[in-house]
Structure 1
Amino acid sequence: MRPVVGNGRRVLVRCHSGYNRSGLVVAQALVHLGYSVEDAIFLVRFRRSKWALNNSLFVDYLTTGLDVARLLTGLEA
């Protein structure tokens, strides 16, 4: 995965409430850019809301790694 932000471009990420799905995408992009998972989660919650990433399964995806999570859940690439 090569996020567009890695190329110095701005990206808008949006979902219905903006707490979990978009938080997961943004946090994963931050991890890809070199932030630790903990720092990425903190930044998403600090900038969006303390309720962001309140889905513990999404936090598990981040801490486990999306590649491993894909294998464990049988998701297609």
Structure 2
Amino acid sequence: MQFELTGRADHGCGSDPATARADLGGTREALSEWSPLSRLSQAQREKVDAALDELVQRLTLVATVGEPRGMV
């Protein structure tokens, strides 16, 4: 999304605004299907929490690799 909004991925073709709209539309659709955490059982909330913890750990590794290369 960052590259679409800044125009860095466009390379002159002018498709970045349409790509950004499509990305946002897909995100909106995915989020509309989620249940609020208040509707989940304790076991389901714990499963979500564990999955998010794992995701954060993985993203930290990506940032650690990307930062010295100027990618972050």
- TM-score, length of structure 2 as denominator length: 0.24
Q: Determine which structure has greater relative contact order: mean sequence separation of CA pairs < 8 Å that are 6+ residues apart, divided by chain length.
A: 1
* Structure number, greater radius of gyration: 2
- TM-score (structure 1 length as normaliser): 0.24
